[in-house]
A and B are shown apart, each in its own frame.
Chain A
Amino acid sequence: MAKGPDDSARTTRAQDDWQALSQQYWNAWSDATRKAFGGTPAEAVTDKTPWHEGLEQWSRMFDAAKAQDSQSEIVERLLAGARSYFALLQSLAEKGGAGKVDPQAWSDAVRDSFNFPGADAALFDNPLARALRELAGKGAKGFEQMMETVQPAMREARALLDLPAFGYAREHQEHYQRMAQAWLDYQHETNRYNALIARASRRAFEVFEDKLAERTEPGRQIDSVRGLYDLWVDAAEDAYAEVALSDEFREVYGALVNAQMRVRQNVQREVERVATDLGMPTRTEIDSMGKRLHNLHRDAKNQAEALPALIAEVAALRAEVERLKAGSQPAAKATTRAAKKSAPRTSRKPTGKE
């Protein structure tokens, strides 16, 4: 349908309003920056700058202020979470300013907000993958970092993958081939896992639209961006749970974990080989000693626990023996005397030849 003059005028007015609001937003941001950090922002902003960019600048300024490590981590998490929320705020403020919007358009606005400028294009339309990527902690990043380190060796190993192994160094070659194969398997399983996360993200928007449809009832309308954000989170978690509890996810998750472990194990073997060449102790050796030590420690504990009972038992037996000795002493002497009497006398001396 062609736009009439009224529509055009409304759109222009909305754009002007939006520009004015955006300008006010950045003016307020500059004031807040001065108050929080006692200085002017390092980087210039305009009314066209995405709102979440202000958070990036604050993150850099907070780091520069050398806060405690634990709190730098909190700020990192806070700003990572808030980034999506601010992008949503901006997207919806802009969308809301454009007049009447249907649920599909709201859903698109939410989707767009996750694809904010500067975001990783590989994660476009895939907010669940983004949420997983943003998980903090070495547990999530350690393996990736390790793989970056061994990437050159992996490239070399991959080139050897199809070559037949023979001769003196064949065992090494076979090891590199296994390592390369493990890496390829891991890539394959990662792709399967990512496909399921992408499916969950797509499903999240469907669930979101269903949830929006429920809000058309009087009294249930959403009138704040936070309300809409919370509804989106509910939808995303519902969709994720649907996928994560499926048999397919269980199989893929197990395969991914197992594939990653095989890569780690191959890398460990390689590190051990180098350590052995350099005359350094290996993890296998340390584990072996640890196991032996642990068993000794356990035995010692068990023996120490059993000891008081044994001591008490020995003491009781000793006491009983003493009692028996005391009670049977005369009889014992008599027996000895009787034995002496009954024994045949002999004067024969040992000859030493028996």
Chain B
Amino acid sequence: MEPIRIDPKRAYDEALRAQQKIAASMRVLRDVEDVDYGATDKEAIYREDKVVVYRYKGKNKPTAKAPILICYALVNRPYMVDLQDDRSLVRNLLALGEDVYIIDWGYPDGADRWLTLDDYINGYIRRCVDAVAKHAGVRKINLLGICQGGAFSLCFASLHQDRLQNLITMVTPVDFHTRDNMLSHWTRDMDVDLFVDTLGNVPADLMNWCYLTLKPVRLNQQKYVAMLDILDDKVELENFLRMEKWIFDSPDQAGEAFRQFIKDFYQGNKLVRGGLEIGGKPVSLKNITIPVLNIFAEQDHLVPPSASRPLGEHIGTKDYTQIAFKGGHIGIYVSGRAQREVPPAIHEWLAKRTT
């Protein structure tokens, strides 16, 4: 049997439909206003340099005994967790009675060129955790680290566990040397000293270009061909534009922190192999004995599941839970399935462990 049965008339109809959609989009795109993001009201409770900690305001008073502080990656903006009304991890957690705070790292510039991982982890994160605990009137809080922020949270928990009740990691790389980790594979022969000495802060555009080249046809062509289907639908188009805005709204990376992160995590794989030091203090996953929930995405091309899954083997805690979510690195926050599954899973897990 022939693998393809495409009638020329049908191809023509497809072309005509696509053409009409694009024509309609030319009108719609001119009418669509600049898309906004951030669905939930929030107030700043702590500021330091460019870092701001926000507390989200839910419709009802939180019922949870300890707050959650979200520690996002440095490489993207944190509003992905609260993108819009119907795609918001934050809003769903608030609705379940959680008290949610978030660290906004801001956009590093030349003044932040010399920030180290010590400054981020033993400095900013520690002071943010203390600020949240003080604001919430508790001694210990729950920390939720996402992606690179998850790796930072693991380091923080290893060094300052006395400040935490529970740790949640989402799409967090732990073993950086698994066979399918393309990003890590590409960094291994890079001279990162030369790279940072030359560039200083690492430009966001360069980072984005690197991410797009992980799947060049899918991310640069197919995604926009698929966009043809929603071009005449204003709401869907706005959703698409909002996501595009997030993808390309990236901060530059502080040079020194980038250098250390690539050397110790991507190249040295020290979180798993050992020998990691932050600010001269040894970091070991074995030190972490508080309860840990590790959530990862099965179709994640940035942090493959193989990179997240080994956390269970290396962590010291006896209370370790792992959830494999059907979706990708971004889908875990914004897909319909994620809205239904992820916040309740976090809430139920915490409810059993927060005192």
Which residues of A are interface residues toward B (Cβ below 8 A)? 17-18, 21, 24-25, 28-29, 32-33, 35-37, 51, 54-55, 58, 61-62, 65, 67-68, 70-71, 74-75, 77-82, 84-86, 89-90, 92-94, 96-97, 100-103, 106, 127-128, 131-132, 134-140, 142, 212-218, 220-226, 228-230, 233, 236-237, 240-241, 244-245, 249-251, 253-255, 257-258, 261-262, 264-265, 268, 283, 286-287, 290-291, 293-295, 298, 301, 305
Given contacts A28-B19, A128-B216, A217-B1, contact A80 B199 (CB under 8 A): no
Structural contact, B222 and A230, CB atoms closer than 8 A: yes
Structural contact, A96 and B1, CB atoms closer than 8 A: no
Given contacts A82-B22, A215-B3, A221-B1, contact A254 B189 (CB under 8 A): yes
Which residue of A is nearest B205, CB measured?
A139
Structural contact, A93 and B224, CB atoms closer than 8 A: no
Q: List 18 A-B contacts (CB under 8 A).
A: A36-B27, A67-B29, A70-B34, A77-B224, A80-B221, A89-B15, A128-B217, A134-B220, A213-B3, A216-B1, A222-B3, A224-B14, A225-B10, A225-B14, A229-B225, A249-B186, A254-B187, A291-B113
Residue B18 is within 8 A (CB to CB) of chain A in the complex:
yes
Most buried by B among A33, A55, A81, A213: A81
Which residues of B are interface residues toward A (Cβ below 8 A)? 1-12, 14-16, 18-20, 22-27, 29-30, 32, 34, 110-111, 113-115, 119, 123, 127, 179-180, 182, 185-191, 194-195, 197-200, 203-210, 212-218, 220-225, 227-228, 231, 241, 244-245, 248
Which residue of B is nearest A17, CB measured?
B8
Structural contact, B212 and A78, CB atoms closer than 8 A: no
Structural contact, A290 and B224, CB atoms closer than 8 A: no
Query: Out of A62, A92, A240, A255, which one reaches B217, CB within 8 Å?
Result: A240
Given contacts A24-B12, A81-B220, contact A58 B194 (CB under 8 A): no
Which residue of A is nearest B16, CB measured?
A28
Query: Out of A24, A36, A217, A225, which one reaches B11, CB within 8 Å?
Result: A225
Q: What's the minimum C-beta distance from B111 to chain A, rounded to whole angstroms? A: 7
Which residue of B is nearest A264, CB measured?
B198
Structural contact, A140 and B209, CB atoms closer than 8 A: yes
**Which DSSP category, helix, strand, loop or mixed, fits chain A's interface?**
helix
Structural contact, A223 and B217, CB atoms closer than 8 A: no
Complex interface: chain A residues within 8 A of B27 (CB)? 35-36
Q: What's the minimum C-beta distance from A267 to chain B, rounded to whole angstroms? A: 10
Structural contact, B23 and A32, CB atoms closer than 8 A: yes
Q: What's the minimum C-beta distance from B263 to chain A, rounded to whole angstroms? A: 14
Structural contact, A237 and B218, CB atoms closer than 8 A: yes
Query: Out of A67, A101, A255, A298, which one reaches B189, CB within 8 Å?
Result: A255
Which residue of B is nearest A140, CB measured?
B209
Structural contact, B8 and A82, CB atoms closer than 8 A: no
Complex interface: chain B residues within 8 A of A257 (CB)? 190-191, 195
Complex interface: chain B residues within 8 A of A137 (CB)? 205, 208-209, 212, 248
Q: Once bound together, how far apart are the Cα atoms of A80 and B212, in whole Å?
A: 15
Count, A-B residue pairs, CB within 8 A = 268
Which residue of A is nearest B206, CB measured?
A139
Structural contact, A264 and B199, CB atoms closer than 8 A: yes
Q: Once bound together, how far apart are the Cα atoms of A33 and B182, in whole Å?
A: 43
Q: Once bound together, how far apart are the Cα atoms of A59 and B13, in whole Å?
A: 22
Query: Out of B209, B212, B228, which one reaches A82, CB within 8 Å?
Result: B228
Given contacts A28-B19, A58-B26, A92-B6, contact A218 B190 (CB under 8 A): no
Complex interface: chain B residues within 8 A of A82 (CB)? 18, 22, 224-225, 228
Structural contact, B32 and A71, CB atoms closer than 8 A: yes
Q: What's the minimum C-beta distance from B125 to chain A, rounded to whole angstroms? A: 14
Q: What's the minimum C-beta distance from B212 to chain A, rounded to whole angstroms? A: 5
Q: What's the minimum C-beta distance from B177 to chain A, rounded to whole angstroms? A: 12
**Which DSSP category, helix, strand, loop or mixed, fits chain B's interface?**
helix
Q: Once bound together, how far apart are the Cα atoms of A74 and B34, in whole Å?
A: 12
Q: Once bound together, how far apart are the Cα atoms of A102 and B220, in whole Å?
A: 30
Q: What's the minimum C-beta distance from A182 to chain B, rounded to whole angstroms? A: 11
Query: Out of B2, B203, B217, which one reaches A237, CB within 8 Å?
Result: B217
Q: What's the minimum C-beta distance from B187 to chain A, rounded to whole angstroms? A: 8
Complex interface: chain B residues within 8 A of A67 (CB)? 29-30
Q: What's the minimum C-beta distance from A347 to chain B, rounded to whole angstroms? A: 65
Query: Out of A35, A55, A93, A261, which one reaches B195, CB within 8 Å?
Result: A261
Complex interface: chain A residues within 8 A of B7 (CB)? 96, 223
Q: What's the minimum C-beta distance from A95 to chain B, rounded to whole angstroms? A: 8
Given contacts A28-B16, A137-B209, A221-B1, 4 further A-B contacts (CB under 8 A): A32-B23, A222-B3, A237-B218, A250-B186
Q: Once bound together, how far apart are the Cα atoms of A225 and B16, in whole Å?
A: 12
Structural contact, B6 and A258, CB atoms closer than 8 A: no
Structural contact, B114 and A250, CB atoms closer than 8 A: no
Which residue of B is nearest A91, CB measured?
B11
Query: Out of A24, A100, A224, A293, which one reaches B10, CB within 8 Å?
Result: A224
Q: Once bound together, how far apart are the Cα atoms of A277 and B86, in whole Å?
A: 58
Q: Once bound together, how far apart are the Cα atoms of A251 and B7, in whole Å?
A: 46
Complex interface: chain B residues within 8 A of A32 (CB)? 19-20, 22-23
Structural contact, A81 and B225, CB atoms closer than 8 A: yes
Complex interface: chain B residues within 8 A of A226 (CB)? 14, 225
Q: Once bound together, how far apart are the Cα atoms of A101 and B111, in whole Å?
A: 63
Complex interface: chain B residues within 8 A of A139 (CB)? 203-210
Most buried by B among A215, A236, A251, A261: A261
Structural contact, B29 and A71, CB atoms closer than 8 A: yes
Given contacts A89-B18, A90-B15, contact A236 B8 (CB under 8 A): no
Structural contact, B245 and A286, CB atoms closer than 8 A: no
